[in-house]
Every structure is written in C-alpha cells, then in structure tokens.
Amino acid sequence: MAEPLLLITGATGKVGRHFLPAALQDPKLARFRFRALCHKRTLPTQDRVETVNGSISDRSLVHQAMQDVTHLLHLATCKETPEAVMDVTVKGLFWLLEEARVSKSFQQFILIGGDACVGHFHYPNKEPITESHPYSPYPGCYALSKVLEEVLLEQYYRPYNLNGCCLRAPWIMEKDDFKHQLSFSPEVFGAPVWSTYIDETTAKRYADTQTIPVMLDPDGRPVSRNFVHVRDLVSAILCTIDHPQARQQLFNISMDAPVDYQELANYLQKTRGFPQVAIQTEHHSTWLDNSKAKHLLGWKPTVTMQSMADDAFDFVREPDDPRVIHYPG
C-alpha cells in the first residue's frame, strides 16, 4: 500500500505553520508524507514535505497538487476581499472537491470552517450554539464564505459518499494575538476597534496605561465571546485524521467556555495591575458548544482564559517576527 499523502492548502498561514511541525512529530502519522500548497509564501525544505505553488482557483494547479493525495486539510481562506473571495471559497473548494471525488486514492477531506457562519458575536442567542444551529452569517463576504464552504462540502456527502469532516472554529489565537485584541490603539488586532467608541485623547491614555476594555452588550451586560488557541485547533485536526467517528460530521472546536470580558479584566487587574473600563457595544454573548467533538472524537481543549492571557501578555517577539496587524473588514 502506498504511503498516505496529505495535501495542506494555506500551509503557510497561522494554522498551517503550527499543524505541519506537529504532524511531522505525531507517531500516528509517521507513514504520512505532506504536500503544501502555497499561494505566495514558501516553506523551508524538509523531509517528508514537498511544496506546490499557486492558487486553488487554478483548476490545472489543483489537478497537479491532488495527484496521489489520500488526505486533504483545507485551510486556505479569504477575508473581507470581495474581489477574491469567490475564487478561493467557491471555485477553489469546488476544484478540490471534484479532484477528491474522482480520485481512486482519496480517503478524507478535512475543512476548517469558522463560526462567522453562525454570526460569531453579532446576534443574541438564548442557548449555546450547537452544530444544528441555523446558518446566520453577519454582513460581509467573509461570513458568507464560511456558510458556502460548509454547504459545498456537505453536498458531496450523499451523492458521492465523500468522507469529509468540517471543524468549525471561532477566532483563532496565537502568540500575543489575545493581548492585541484588547488594545485601544487604532492598530488593534481584529474587532471591535475599541478606539472608535471613545474620543482620541482618551483612547491614547487607555492605550498607554494598558487599560483593558470590558465589552458590554446593548443591555449593559458583559459579553462572553468564543475563542480557540491554535494549539487546541491543531490537536483537534490531528485527532480527526482517519477517525471513524469524523466521517461526514461537523464539529465545533472551541474552548470549553467563552471568554467573559469582565472575568478577563478582573484577572488581568489582579495579576498585572491593569486598569479596566466598560465599553458598551452592539455585540452579544455567544457560547459555541464543543461537547460533540469531545464525545465523538475524544478531543479536549487545554487552553483556558487564564493560560491564554498569560501566554499572550508574557510573549516576547523576536526582532525578525514583527507584529502583523489585521484590520477588521
């Protein structure tokens, strides 16, 4: 039997950079070879890893990249870029699925989805969000793309009997991301952009004193918001590969409980002396229920709110690892 070959799209992105080293060290995957499909960036040469460069919107490139592939981890995505999102999300995923469908060697398709497809923290929810929650994307092409990804994969299950699985993740944290999403600087990581809720002078003072925002919902209650650390997401991916209970399933992959911004601010005030301030927003609390993944896959997250905060605030970047600011769309 030929050695398994796992193709990774988006291999140089946040998740891919963590997944590949972990996969190479996983005894369960000792027989696996890996092929990284890279768009613009490249990977260093290493044993058991080969690289293909190009865009998944190019059918001929996808055909080349899928030769002899047995497993596929689809990480490539597109943010709020209307000019490219359909080429990557719909066309690219379609070409990958078509190649998987006709391949005699293909065994498993793993898609990393996002909770933008169920609104993230944009809509009020009375109950935890399970995998049966109706699609409810917030405005914009990114959230729409997350819906289209899941639906497109599902439509290859019944007619083609494709062995697929979607791991739906909330906002993925690594390094000092968790710290910078709390910044009052205009170069905040992600959303909300805290400085837009107050005047410029106050925002600068809060940024200089590392004041922690306590996000409130429209009724003045502290918001709880879903996150997952990249280490936990990678462990879920590794658990999913060839798992019999993963076949044609959707799993929420998140922390055991959402981060409560009041609890977070209290923790950082107690442990680091950071002041806090309440900021009323238009956002709402959500709870992404991960019990299905824990029950069927035997996966468990290890990162808590406290450990994520400590890791982020203690993290020191190397000189050649500059902060990349992601502005919200």
Whether 165 and 308 share a structural domain: no
User: Model confidence at 327, in pLDDT bands (50, 70, 90)?
Assistant: very low
67 in any annotated domain: yes
Indicate if 45 and 92 belong to the same structural domain. Answer: yes
Residue 264 forms part of a structural domain: yes
Instruction: Work out the mean pLDDT of the chain and round it to a whole number.
Output: 93
In a domain? residue 244:
yes
Question: 245 and 190: one domain?
Answer: no
Chain centre distance of CA 294: 18
Same-domain status, 211 and 233: no
Q: What are phi and psi of 113, to 5 degrees?
A: -95, -170
Three-state SS string across 252-304, please?
A: ECCCCCCEEHHHHHHHHHHHHCCCEEEEECCCCCCCECCHHHHHHHCCCCCCC
Query: Looking at the domain assignment, is residue 74 inside a domain?
Result: yes
Q: What is the CATH number of the domain that holds 60?
A: 3.40.50.720
Model pLDDT, residue 328: 39
Is 294 within the bounds of a domain? no
Confidence of residue 113 (pLDDT cuts 50, 70, 90): very high
Distance of CA 180 to the CA centre of its chain: 17
224-225/259-260 β-pairing: antiparallel
In a domain, residue 271? The reply is: yes
Does some domain include residue 169? yes
Q: State whether 220 and 270 are in the same domain.
A: yes
The mean pLDDT value for 113-134 works out to: 96
Query: What confidence tens digit (pLDDT) does each residue in 261-309 have?
Result: 999 999 999 999 999 999 999 999 999 999 999 999 999 999 999 999 9
**How confident is the model at residue 299, as a pLDDT?**
98
Q: What is the mean pLDDT of residues 14-29?
A: 95
Q: Is residue 324 pLDDT above 80, yes or no?
A: no
Q: What is the pTM of this model?
A: 0.95
Mark whether 245 and 218 lie in a shared domain: no
- Same domain as 241, residue 263: no
The pLDDT value recorded for residue 65 is 95
pLDDT surpasses 70 at 329: no
- If asked whether residues 233 and 102 sit together in one domain, one would say yes
Note whether residue 296 is domain-resident: no
Whether residue 273 sits in one domain with residue 184: yes
Contact 73, 113 (CB under 8 A): no
pLDDT at 42 over 50: yes
Give the pLDDT confidence of 198-214 residue by residue, as tens digits: 999 999 999 999 999 99
At residue 214, the 3 state secondary structure works out as strand
Domain that holds residue 86: 5-173+226-252
Q: Report the domain count for the chain.
A: 2
150-168 tens-digit pLDDT: 999 999 999 999 999 999 9
Higher pLDDT, 326 or 85: 85
Cβ neighbours for 192, distance < 8 A, ≥ 6 positions apart: 213, 215, 279, 281, 283, 328
pLDDT band at 320 (very low <50, low <70, confident <90, very high): low
Residues 19 and 41 in one domain: yes
210 and 168 assigned to the same domain: no
- Identify the residue with better confidence: 329 or 308: 308
Are residue 137 and residue 204 in the same domain, yes or no?
no
